[in-house]
Amino acid sequence: MSNDEYTSDGRTEEDSDREPAGLDDGSDEDGQSADRPSDSLSGVDHDLDTRSAGNGRVPSRRDDAEGSGDPSSVIDPSSPDSSVDPTEPTDAAERERSPSTRSAADIESTDIEATDVETDLQAADIDLDAETDVSESPTDDSSRGLFDDLLSGEPIFENKEVLRPSYTPRTLPHREDQINTTATILVAALRGETPSNILIYGKTGTGKTASAKYVSQELESTSRKYDVPCTVEYINCEVTDTQYRVLARLANTFIEQNEAFIDARIDTLETLAEDVREGGETLADSAFDSLSAVTERIEELEDDRESFEPAPMTGWPTDRVYSTFFEAVDYRERVVVIMLDEIDKLVEKSGDDTLYNLSRMNSGLDNSRVSIMGISNDLKFTDFLDPRVKSSLGEEEIVFPPYDANQLRDILAHRSEIAFEDDVLTEDVIPLCAAFAAQEHGDARRALDLLRTAGELTERSSADRVEGAHVRRAQEKIELDRVVEVVRTLPTQSKLVLFAIISLEDNGAHDITTGEAYNIYRRLCGEIDADVLTQRRVTDLISELDMLGIVNAVVVSKGRYGRTKEISLSVPTDKTEDVLLEDSRLSDLRETQPLVQSRFDETG
């Protein structure tokens, strides 16, 4: 590089452009020009070089130039315009051997300037220590964020997901008999035969769905092991609750499976054709007698793939959706088990047409076989089925009895080993969860929810161990959440009856009679212009609220006045009232409560 490519201060134009802030104009802190000697600036660079080499500091501009290996970036000491004294030693070791070349003032000035530069770099949030581990937690309290304190405690859970209803465990204590019975029925699928239809009954939390899913996973795993085409399709009928939706979902599922099957088959045939063309493969061991036959089969498969038309979730006639599903499931040989969870919800919403069609479709299938597995909480739901559907659907019935407290303890102990860290549960936690759940007809789901919620409450309180007090708080929270959800989904007329009872209790009434509740109910109907039901029907609604655990209704005798129900609330008044007033139709009742009179006002 020629000397005329340098600036007047001996730096290249590139160096000049990269001058650090604070050094570009030579101004001091007061804004006045400070004619710093060139050897002082060189000393600053040298001092930073030395710190960089010894302490891992961020390299200076000169480090970048010299380390880059670009000779054009190094200042030429022979340049007449260079501000660097060519007689001054440039090597660090030589500088140390020649202290006479720098005055005491220069050295002091250099140290001050180096300190200023380092301070400026620190103020600019530049990491001066290249060896610092960025993964270290911040030590400055001002840098702590919203979640730092929440993450600072010892964890309670190791794997919380095993306590959720969606988790399918590898072992299901106290359900071995039901699992084995289900497996002996479905093993026919592995022989290419049609398994009998199965109906599984049991109350909530008795292990029906978990057991059925476990058997289904084992069935599919074994089918892959022995290369037997078998698949299980799970549908929750509480969500997919109409015939159209069930058929559309099944149709689209099997269309996707068929497309994946076709794609894999085409890839195999294309590889075979390519090997034959290259002379490395023959068709002797294949089902084809010529290369053109392979090509024709590929074209047929491509046509099949193009012919599939997914069913929209709305808009088609039901017959067309059924035909689409029928053709998709029968496209190739396989055994299909359709698992309909909450099957009673489907019948309640759409009748038994879906079950009738599914249970009788085998007579028209050429390649596949279909079996139905229905799961229900309602032991009597088949009473509403057509006798033909009932006979074909209920070929095999399996009943899941409720768990007792000891069985629930075993289930919780098994799950807790996976779900929690070691030694975080006190001895009374699992027995207490089991006892609460046993009161709820042996509901294992409730027991697992209790245990999980107790752990979550422990985490939120920053406690080290889950104790019985956390379980009791979890029980209260779950019960309140359940009540809120039940109340929120009540029909409008039931909400009005419940609001009438709350209004009476708010005004000091106790042991409310059916007649008193009915009088207030009629007034509330008038406030929102709702139809008024008969007192007999309101009595039935009160009985339903009693069954849901929202009120406690006891039949008492009033002597010559006959028998009536004395009603009291079983749920928190304020929270229940707030949920009721969330209903847009009942929101106008917020101001009507002071108008309600109790029996004491009426008889006074």
Q: Tell me: do 494 and 472 sit in the same domain.
A: no
* Average pLDDT rounded to a whole number, residues 460-465: 90
Are 370 and 329 within 8 A, CB to CB?
Answer: yes
Judge whether 180 lies within some domain: yes
Q: Report the distance separating Cα 509 and Cα 525, nearest Å.
A: 20
Q: Tell me: do 502 and 595 sit in the same domain.
A: yes
Judge whether 95 lies within some domain: yes
Distances from the Cα of 488 to the Cα of 128, 236, 307, 478, 578, angstroms: 60, 22, 46, 15, 10
**Domain end position, chosen among 484, 499, 525:** 484
Distances from the Cα of 229 to the Cα of 184, 257, 324, 344, angstroms: 18, 12, 21, 29
Q: Tell me: do 96 and 31 sit in the same domain.
A: yes
Q: Tell me: do 294 and 409 sit in the same domain.
A: no
Q: Report the distance separating Cα 289 and Cα 554, nearest Å.
A: 84
Cβ atoms within 10 A of the Cβ of 552, count?
14
Are 274 and 267 within 8 A, CB to CB?
Answer: no
Judge whether 37 lies within some domain: yes
Q: Tell me: do 229 and 80 sit in the same domain.
A: no
| CATH for 588 | 1.10.10.10
Q: Tell me: do 440 and 393 sit in the same domain.
A: no
Instruction: Give the least confident one: 51-60, 343-352, 489-498, 515-524.
Output: 51-60
Match 């929101």 to its residue by tokens: 587
Q: Give the rounded distance of the alpha carbon of 212 from its chain centre.
A: 23
Q: Tell me: do 496 and 559 sit in the same domain.
A: yes
pLDDT tier at 283, thresholds 50, 70, 90: confident
Give the number of domains in the chain: 4
pLDDT tens track for 169-189: 888 999 999 999 999 999 999
Q: Tell me: do 9 and 107 sit in the same domain.
A: yes
pLDDT tier at 374, thresholds 50, 70, 90: very high
- At residue 77, the pLDDT reads 43
- At residue 540, the pLDDT reads 93
**Domain end position, chosen among 350, 379, 399:** 399
Q: Report the distance separating Cα 322 and Cα 95, nearest Å.
A: 92
Question: Has residue 29 got a pLDDT over 50?
Answer: no
| CATH for 433 | 1.10.8.60
Distances from the Cα of 305 to the Cα of 280, 288, 302, 308, 334, angstroms: 29, 21, 5, 6, 18
Instruction: Give the least confident one: 77-86, 216-225, 301-310, 526-535.
Output: 77-86
Q: Tell me: do 568 and 594 sit in the same domain.
A: yes
Instruction: Give the least confident one: 49-63, 268-282, 434-448.
Output: 49-63
pLDDT over 70 percentage in the chain:
73
Top-confidence residue, 387 or 230 = 230
Q: Tell me: do 297 and 356 sit in the same domain.
A: yes
* Average pLDDT rounded to a whole number, residues 86-114: 46
| CATH for 297 | 3.40.50.300
Q: Report the distance separating Cα 554 and Cα 564, nearest Å.
A: 8
pLDDT tier at 325, thresholds 50, 70, 90: very high
pLDDT tier at 48, thresholds 50, 70, 90: very low
pLDDT tier at 139, thresholds 50, 70, 90: low
Question: Has residue 194 got a pLDDT over 70?
Answer: yes
Match 């600053």 to its residue by tokens: 44
pTM: 0.64
pLDDT tens track for 466-524: 999 999 999 989 888 888 889 999 999 999 999 999 999 888 888 899 999 999 999 99
- At residue 349, the pLDDT reads 86
* Average pLDDT rounded to a whole number, residues 286-291: 86
381 sits in which H/E element: none
Judge whether 553 lies within some domain: yes
Top-confidence residue, 419 or 106 = 419
Q: Report the distance separating Cα 173 and Cα 298, nearest Å.
A: 50
Q: Report the distance separating Cα 332 and Cα 258, nearest Å.
A: 8
Top-confidence residue, 134 or 251 = 251
- At residue 5, the pLDDT reads 42
Top-confidence residue, 365 or 594 = 365
* Residue 352 identity: D
* Average pLDDT rounded to a whole number, residues 364-388: 90
Judge whether 162 lies within some domain: no
* Residue 331 identity: Y
- At residue 140, the pLDDT reads 60
Q: Give the rounded distance of the alpha carbon of 558 from its chain centre.
A: 55
Burial-class residue 106 by CB neighbours within 10 Å (0-12, 13-18, 19+): middle
Judge whether 431 lies within some domain: yes
Q: Tell me: do 321 and 389 sit in the same domain.
A: yes
**Domain end position, chosen among 484, 518, 537:** 484
pLDDT tier at 591, thresholds 50, 70, 90: low
Q: Which region, left, alpha or beta, applies to residue 164 given φ > 0 means left and ψ of -120 to 50 means alpha?
A: beta
Q: Tell me: do 228 and 113 sit in the same domain.
A: no
pLDDT tens track for 400-446: 999 999 999 999 999 999 999 999 999 999 999 999 999 877 899 99
pLDDT tier at 563, thresholds 50, 70, 90: confident
Q: Report the distance separating Cα 424 and Cα 420, nearest Å.
A: 7
Domain that includes residue 472, residue range? 405-484
Judge whether 330 lies within some domain: yes
Q: What is the pLDDT of the chain when averaged over all its residues?
A: 79
Question: Has residue 368 got a pLDDT over 50?
Answer: yes
